[in-house]
Amino acid sequence: MIASLAAVDLGATSGRVMLGHVSHNHLSVRPVARFPNIPVRTIDGLHWNILELYRSVVAGLGAAVREDPAIASVAVDSWAVDYALMRGGRMLGTPYHYRDERNLPAVEATHALVGPQELYAANGLQFLSFNTLYQLAADRSAGVLDLADGFLLIPDLFNYWLTGQQFAEQTNASTTGLLSISTGDWDHALIERLGLPRGVLPSLVTPGTPLGGLLPSVDVASSMTVTTVGSHDTASAVVAVPATNPDFAYISCGTWGLVGVELEHPVLTDAARAANFTNEGGVDGQVRFLHNVMGLWILSESVRDWQRTDPTLELPGLLAAAAALATPVSVFDADDPTFLVPGEMPARIAEWCRDHGVSAPRSPVEFVRSIIESLAVAFVNAVRSASELSGKTVSVIHIVGGGSQNELLCQLIADRAGMPVLAGPVEATAVGNVLVQARTHGLVDGSLESLRSLVATAFSPRRHLPKG
């Protein structure tokens, strides 16, 4: 029997409601609704357009049910770290987007309470200035945290609005910096030392838990169950890596490039901390040992900048011209935090090149080539570090997400790494989301290995072999 499941994936490039069809030997996923997920800058910073997104999600679910009234379950995922503060079940203010700069001063204040070394030993997370614990410290100094009696990460907020249930899904909670890497539970001692209130954090729930049906306020006529999955989009994407060989590294490549390996146990060495590798929680208790590379954000922000003066410039044309470019371009450090915030990306790349004594690209095509070359270098370095730091052998690299469509990028990674790169699926996050729901509802077999072999059959990856 083929069952129908819906996945809500709120990515930075777009939000989407996807319709999945699954049985023990069938898997397909297609978009039903796609809508913008554009943050809004107001006088007090960069925010999620959260109500508009919720409206789009509900409308998308309505459309999905009209296409397929038999949808049994739905699950929500999104990017990590961002949250809403709650009081009495109401959202307090509009959630901040992690690219807002309010958390930068909070980093120093937080490290004065608990130093980075101690933090790494406690939570196993790489340093990212926007990790939830720094954002919460910013809210505390703004006096807003005192008002809250609840805290919901964004997918948990959607689950609450859909079902009335308030929980913190484990994989996404692992990106807050407030979970103990040794117990997997909220680290109350750490939370206290950081001066954060422990009472606001909801109970944890693992991926694969049915939460309940849709509330009447959702206004979608369906008896579908809302289910938890790896609600951190990267956790769901890693589930959908179509690996048939255990010696794989992955690059979950979209707005960010999340590069690493899957492990049974965390790596908490000084070397892993110095290399800024994270130990995030994966589905089935796996560890996502990975490093955040800035990703295709650098490219999409550059295109956004050029389109302000030349609206005819489009990604496909730029990529084709960049692939054909014969002249060499400079490589810059795609890991540099200077590229984190929005706006004027080409100017920042040029400035980086000038500051480091290399020639800056001179045309959009040269910029695109330079961005892709730089990402390939950063990705391959991160794969090598992941392998060295963890001791895991890597003989193949899987690239999933929207960036897996970028053939130049895939080929450059294969060439630089000297190993095969297998590209796809493009919608890995939605596929992983759907598969964990399917398993929860008894439609497919248990292990991650068997879920992955289903993906490998349904979405046969494109192979890039190293040249030369």
- Piece of the chain touching ligand LRH by CB under 6 A; list 254-262, 343-351, 385-393, 408-416: 254-262
Closest CA to 466 of 415, 425, 409, 399: 415
Stretch that binds ligand ADP, among 93-101, 165-173, 195-203, 401-409 (CB under 6 A): 401-409
* Catalytic residue list contains 233: yes
Q: Which does 431 bind (CB under 5 to 8 A by kind): ligand ADP, ligand LRH, none?
A: none
Q: By CB under 6 A, name the one of 123, 159, 225, 292 that touches ligand LRH.
A: 292
The crossing angle, in degrees rounded to 10, of helices 104-113 and 132-141 is 100
User: Which of the residues 9, 82, 233, 305 is marked catalytic?
Assistant: 233
Question: Virtual CA dihedral for 131, 137, 140, 144, nearest 10 degrees?
Answer: -20
Using the rule CB under 6 A, is 123 a contact of ligand LRH?
no
Interaction mask 329-368, ligand LRH, x per CB under 6 A: ----------------------------------------
Distance CA 346, CA 371 (A): 10
At residue 117, what is the residue type? Q
Interface with ligand ADP by CB under 6 A: which range of 6-14, 157-165, 215-223, 386-394? 6-14
Q: Which residues of 81-119 are buried (b: 16+ CB within 10 A; e: fewer)?
A: bbbbbbeeeebbebbbbbbbebbeebbeebbeebeeeeb
Give me the amino acid identity at 436.
Answer: V
Q: Which is nearer to ligand LRH, 233 or 366 (CB)?
A: 233
Q: Which of 281, 401, 425, 432 binds ligand ADP (CB under 6 A)?
A: 401
Q: Which is nearer to ligand LRH, 232 or 398 (CB)?
A: 232
Residue 8 interacts with ligand ADP (CB under 6 A): yes or no = no
Q: How far apart are CA 451 and CA 27, in angstroms?
A: 10
Residues 243 to 302: which contact ligand ADP by CB under 6 A?
254-255, 296, 299-300
CB 390 within 8 Å of CB 269: no
**What is the separation, in whole angstroms, between the first and last Cα of the chain?**
47
Sheet of 287-293: strand order equals 278-281, 287-293, 257-263, 248-253, 396-400, 421-423, 462-464
Region of 10-18, 20-28, 69-77, 142-150 interacting with ligand ADP (CB under 6 A): 10-18
Pseudo-torsion of CA 322, 16, 240, 448, nearest 10°?
A: 160
Tell me how many residues contact ligand LRH (CB under 6 A). Answer: 11
Distance of closest approach, residue 335 Cβ to ligand LRH, in angstroms? 13
The distance of closest approach from Cβ of residue 388 to ligand ADP in the complex, given in angstroms and rounded to an integer, is 27
The catalytic site residues sit at: 233
Which residues form the interface with ligand LRH (CB under 6 A)? 79-81, 98, 232-234, 255-256, 258, 292
